[in-house]
Amino acid sequence: MAVKNIAVTDTLEKFRTEFNDLAANDFGDIANLSGSIVATNLVDAMNETISIATSTAGWKIEDSTSSQQLIGGGDILKVVGATNEIEAVVSAVDTLTIGLPNVVSVTTSLTTPTLSTGNMSLTNGSITDSSGSISFGDENLSTTGTLGAGAITGTSITGSGGTHTLGTIEISGNTIRSTDSTILTVNDSLTVNNTLKAGVTSINPTGSSNITSTTGFTIFGSTIFLEAGKSVIFEGTTSDDFEISFNGGDPTADRTITLPDNTGTVITTGSTDAVSENMMANDAIGQNELKSVVQLQILNSSGTPLKTLYGAGA
């Protein structure tokens, strides 16, 4: 569109010609305007044109709720990242990079089929590690449910509550029992540093003493009690079918048998030639010790015994 100028000295015809040319060529026919432009003057029509051009050249953004926002020419799209949640970086050429920081905070919840970090994966309530081992360091592990494991290894296992079960062994307070039997079996040697009690029986050996018991063997303080028909058996030097047994008779009153305070061999009714001379003291055998007694007397002239000699009768 050229600049039109009418001089003071120009004719009216000149003004008419220039004006008509301005309307026909520079302004154009208003009927040729787009139907979206409704302005009838040049300024309003230009404003509408700018608005339409900006709208056509822009673009829209939409979120997950289908809310939309028009981004037109001259507008700025600003991506704001929250601390520890998201990072947004603008770089040349026309590049927007959105990522996560090294430390991510989730204020509510995180839902994902599988969560992986390093060698460890969390999937549907199962924690696995490709290294074959998961360590909780020196942290405590607590659960209000049931802890199931093929094998548990540790320097100490501490539980809370009244009753704990390992396999078929139940521990309740200071009591251990079997849940499927009335017998607890210990396959190895058992060492008790204090008193071992079983019902009314107590075994409390001291020093290097060893006490072995069978059915009916009871120890009360310093007394060893054997029920009827029980024996004390010595195998002897040779391990064979022959043993020495100590048996008690059927007493009708309390009896006491005391072994003397000396070294020697016990003589029984079955002993033969077991009594030696050094076993008898001087004047140890008199008429009271002989089963059948005969006597020889030496008399004086008046018939008074001077000496009496005793001997075993036939």
For residue 18, give the 3-state DSSP assignment. helix
* 125-164 burial code (b ≥16 CB/10 A, e <16): eeeeeeeeeeeeeeeeeeeeeeeeeeeeeeeeeeeeeeee
Domain boundaries, the chain: 1-60, 282-312
Q: pLDDT class for 146, splitting at 50, 70, 90?
A: confident
Could you tell me which residues come within 8 angstroms of residue 224 by beta carbon, excluding any fewer than 6 positions away? 217, 218
Q: Which two tokens stand for residue 6?
A: 């009418």
Q: Which two tokens stand for residue 242?
A: 């022959």
pLDDT tens-digit series, residues 79-128 = 877 778 888 888 888 888 888 888 888 888 888 888 888 899 989 888 89
Residue 220 has pLDDT above 60, yes or no: no
* DSSP letters spanning 289-307: G-SSEEEEEEE-TTS-EEE
User: Does the pTM of the predicted model rise above 0.85?
Assistant: no
